[in-house]
Structure 1
Amino acid sequence: MKLTRRILMAAAAGSFLFSGTAAMAQTELSFWSWRQEDKAFYQDMIKQFQEKNPGITVKFETFAPENYQTILSTALAAGRGPDVIQVRAYGNLETIATPGYLLPLDKQNVPELANFPESALAAETLRSDGKVYAVPFATQAQLVVYNKKIFQDAGLTPPKTWDELMKAAETLKAKNITPFANGTATAWQNETIVGGLLSSMLGKDFEADIVSGKANFTDPRFVNALAKLKDVSQYFSPNFTGVDYPSSQQLFAAGRAAMFAGGSYEIANFKKQNPSLDLGVFPAPVLKAGDQALVATYYDGGYAVNAKSDNKDAALKFVRFLATPEYGTAFTNTLKNLSPIKGIKIEDPITQEVAKLADNSMSYLMLVRFRYQEPSGSVLLQSNVQKMLAGQQTPEQAAAEINKGIATYYKPFQK
C-alpha cells in the first residue's frame, strides 16, 4: 500500500510539474494601438483569436493618438516596443520602417496579403526597398455626411452640383439651420474639408498632372476650387474660425447642423453619440452636371510586427488572423469602418453606400502623395486653407504658399 501511495504521489507531482511547464510555455503578445475608441472590438477579436490559438495570449494597450507616434518611436529606438504594432501609412510608416524597426511581410510569412488590393499594400510599402511592412486595416473616404431628417423636413435632396449645394445651404440657413457643422480651428480639419468638398472639382486628371509635374498647385483648377471653398464657408458653423473639431462633432451629433464635411470614420462616432440619427452620405459635388463625382480615399494604417520581437512566429499568426475576410467583415460591421480586405460582407446600409462611393475616387492628395518630406503637404494645405478661410489670404496666395513649400523637395515642381 505504501509503495502504491508513493507511486500515486509521484505521478501527481509529475502531473503538477507538467502543467506548470505548459503554463510557462504560454506566449503573451503585446499589441499597441492609438484606437482607444475601438478597444472593446479588439478585445473581442483577441478573445476569438485566443480560442483558436490556445498557446497565445494578446495584451492590448492603447495610447492617445496625438502622443502615439512619439511613444512608439521612442520605444522602438530603444530596442523595445510591442510585438504587434498598429502603424500609420504612407510617410508616417516610413519613419519607423526605414530604421529597420518592422519585420518585412510577404506572401510566404503572411499568405493573406493576397486578400488585399495592390493600392492598399502600396500604402504600407517602404518606397526605398519596395517591401510591405504592415497588413492594411481600413479604407477611409472623405465625403459629406448629412442628416436625412433635416434634409427631408427642409424639402431637400443630396446636392449633385456645386450650385445645388450652395442653394441647399442657403435654404437651410434661411430656416435657421446651420448648414455645415464644420469649424476650422483644428488645423487638420481643413484638410478633411478640402477632401470632402473639392475632390470632384479637382478630379483624377488634376491628380495625375500634379504627380507627373505637368501641373502644380498654382494651377487654375486648384485655385478656383479654393475660391469655391471660401464661398461655401459662409455656411459653416457660426464663428467657425474659433470652432474646434470636438465642438463641430458635437454640433452635428446633436442634430443642430445638416451636414459635416469629413471622413467616413465619423459615422460610427456620430451614431454612438446619438443613436437616433438617420444619416446619409454623398460625394463632393461636381462643378457642372455630367462631371464625375468623386470621394477622396486613403488607407488608414496597418498591423505590423516588431523586428526585435522575441515572439515573431506568434505575432505573425496574430497578424495573419487580422488579414482574413472573417476579421475584415467583423471590423467593417462592428466599427462601421470599411476594411480593404477582399471578400468581406457588409451589412450596414450606410457602410455599403461608402463602399460604393469609394469605387469612384481620387487620392486624399496630400496624405497619399506629399506627406513623406518636410514641409509636409498636409501641413501646408491645413495652415494655408485655415488662413484663407479666416480672410488672411486669397485663394491665389494660399495656393502659391502650398506650392512654394512642396517645390523645395518635389523635383517635378522645380522645372
Structure 2
Amino acid sequence: MKLTRRILMGAAAGSFILSAGAATAQQTELTFWSWRQEDKAFYQDAIKKFQAKEPNISIKFETYAPENYQTILSTALAAGRGPDVIQVRAYGNLETIATPGYLVALDKNNVPELANFPEAALAAETLRSDGKVYAVPFAMQTQLVVYNKKIFKDNGLNPPKTWDELMSLAQALKAKNITPFGNGTATAWQNETIVGGLLSSMLGKQFEEDIVSGKANFTDARFVNALAKLKDVSQYFAPNFTGVDYPSSQQLFVAGRAAMFAGGSYEVANFKNQNPTLDLGVFPAPVLKAGDQALVATYYDGGYAVNAKSEKKDAALKFIRYLATPEYGTAFTNTLKNLSPIKGIKIEDPITQEVAKLTENAMSYLMLVRFRYQEPSGSVLLQSNVQKMLAGQQTPEQAAAEINKGIATYYKPFQK
C-alpha cells in the first residue's frame, strides 16, 4: 500500500510539473516600442489591464528619445529586428516604414475594431500607394492657444475672438509687465505649432481646399497676410524670443510668468503635471473679423502597428485590438488629457471636453497632413522660413515665396 501511494503521489507531482511547464511554454512576451517616455506609467497600467484579459501574454514596454526614435526604429526594422508592437508616426513618417513592407497590413478581418475609428483617422495611418491601413490610430491633436485663467481674471480680461482683440489684450498685459505669450522660436518645430495655434482661423478651410486643388499656392495673399499678422504679434512673445527654446518657453508659462501659450492641446496635461495649481483654459485661433469662422488645426498623432517580421503576430494583433477599444480610448483620454479618436469614449476632464468641442470646427494642421510626404518637407520649409521671418531676416512675402518654391519642386499643382 505504501509503495502504491508513493507511486500515485509521484505521478501526481509529475503531472503538476508537466502542466506548469506547459503553462510556461504558452506564455508569450511581446516587446512594445514608443517615443512617449512621459506616458510610461499610463502604458504600464494599460498593459496590466490587457494582461488581466490575456494572462498568457506579457509585454515589455521600451521608450526612446523622440528625436532619435524614427532612426533607431528604421534601422532595427531594416535589419529584420525591432519590436513586436510599434508606436508609429502618421502621414509621411508612417510611409517611410510601411512602404518597405516592415508592417502588417490591418483590415476588418485581423482588427475588426478599425470600425471604431473615423475615416480621417484611418487615412492618417494608410499607405497611399496601396490604400491599406497599417496602424491603429492613437490620438488626435489640436493646435490652439492655452491660457492662464487666473492671470486673465486678475486683469479683467476675456479670451479674444478677433485678431484686434488679441492684439489689444496682449498690449494690456505687456503694459502691466506680464509676458503675453510664453512662446519662443529658437526650437525650429515650434514655429509650425505657433502658426497652427494662431493663424488657422485667418487662413480658413477654403484656403486649404484651394491649396490642395491647386487653385492657390503659398504666395497667396491670405497666407502672406497671415504671416504678416504673426510678425506683428511676435512682439508679445517671450523676451528675446528668438533665443528662447521650447523647454524654456514651457517653463515660462508653467511658472505663471506668461498669460498664453500658442501650441498643442497636448501641452495641457504637461503644464498641469508640472504645476497642479494652474487653472487653464483654451481658445481657438482668433478670426480676422467678427463673423468669420473660428478654427483650430488638427492632426492624428500616430498609431500602433505590428512588425511584419514578428514571430508573435497573433499575440501582437490581440494587443493592438485592445488598444482600439472604447475602454482603452477612454482611459487614454482621461489619463493623458489627449483626445483618442475612438468612437464612444467618455471624456471626464473639462478642458479636454472643451478641446473636443473646438475640434468640431477645424482645418488640417496643414504642412503635417498635406506636405510631409516628400522632400523638402512642407513642415521643415514652414518652420525654417517662419523662424527667419520672426528673426527679421525675411519679409512675410519672402518667407511665403521660399516655402512655395520648395514645395513646387515636387507638387505638380504648384508647377503650372
TM-score, normalization by structure 1: 1.00
The Cα shift of 1:14 comes to 2.3
- How many residues of Structure 1 are paired with residues of Structure 2 in the alignment? 415
Provide the rounded CA distance (Å) in 1 between the counterparts of 2:156 and 2:205.
Answer: 33
2:209 counterpart letter in structure 1: A
Provide the rounded CA distance (Å) in 2 between the counterparts of 1:278 and 1:149.
Answer: 6
1:310 counterpart letter in structure 2: E
2:106 counterpart letter in structure 1: L
Counterpart for residue 143 of structure 1: 144
Counterpart for residue 57 of structure 1: 58
Q: Secondary structure at the match of 1:39?
A: helix
2:335 counterpart letter in structure 1: T
Q: Secondary structure at the match of 1:187?
A: coil
The Cα shift of 1:243 comes to 0.0
Structure 1, unpaired ranges of 5+: none
The within-5 A match list for 1:203-352 is 203-352=204-353
Counterpart for residue 107 of structure 2: 106
Q: Deviations over 1:80-132 (max 9, x none)?
A: 11110000000000000000000000111111100000000000000000000
Matched, 1:89 2:90: yes
Q: Deviations over 1:130-154 (max 9, x none)?
A: 0000000000000000000000111
The Cα shift of 1:6 comes to 1.7
Provide the rounded CA distance (Å) in 2 between the counterparts of 1:294 and 1:195.
Answer: 10
Q: Deviations over 1:302-327 (max 9, x none)?
A: 00011111111111100000000010
Matched, 1:169 2:188: no
Counterpart for residue 384 of structure 1: 385
Q: Secondary structure at the match of 1:198?
A: helix
Matched, 1:11 2:15: no
Counterpart for residue 358 of structure 1: 359
Provide the rounded CA distance (Å) in 2 between the counterparts of 1:265 and 1:332.
Answer: 11
% identical equivalent positions? 87
Q: Secondary structure at the match of 2:127?
A: coil
Provide the rounded CA distance (Å) in 1 between the counterparts of 2:15 and 2:275.
Answer: 58
Q: Deviations over 1:317-350 (max 9, x none)?
A: 0000000001000000000010000010000000
Deviates more, 1:133-142 or 1:10-19: 10-19
Provide the rounded CA distance (Å) in 1 between the counterparts of 2:339 and 2:377.
Answer: 26
2:149 counterpart letter in structure 1: K
Provide the rounded CA distance (Å) in 2 between the counterparts of 1:217 and 1:314.
Answer: 47
2:339 counterpart letter in structure 1: L
Provide the rounded CA distance (Å) in 2 between the counterparts of 1:279 and 1:153.
Answer: 14
Provide the rounded CA distance (Å) in 1 between the counterparts of 2:38 and 2:284.
Answer: 26
Counterpart for residue 183 of structure 1: 184
TM-score, normalization by structure 2: 0.99
Q: Deviations over 1:150-201 (max 9, x none)?
A: 0011110000000000000000000000000000000000000000000000
Provide the rounded CA distance (Å) in 2 between the counterparts of 1:169 and 1:100.
Answer: 50
Q: Secondary structure at the match of 1:60?
A: strand
Provide the rounded CA distance (Å) in 1 between the counterparts of 2:399 and 2:55.
Answer: 57
1:130 counterpart letter in structure 2: G
The Cα shift of 1:7 comes to 2.2
The Cα shift of 1:18 comes to 1.9
The Cα shift of 1:3 comes to 2.4
Counterpart for residue 375 of structure 1: 376
Matched, 1:79 2:80: yes
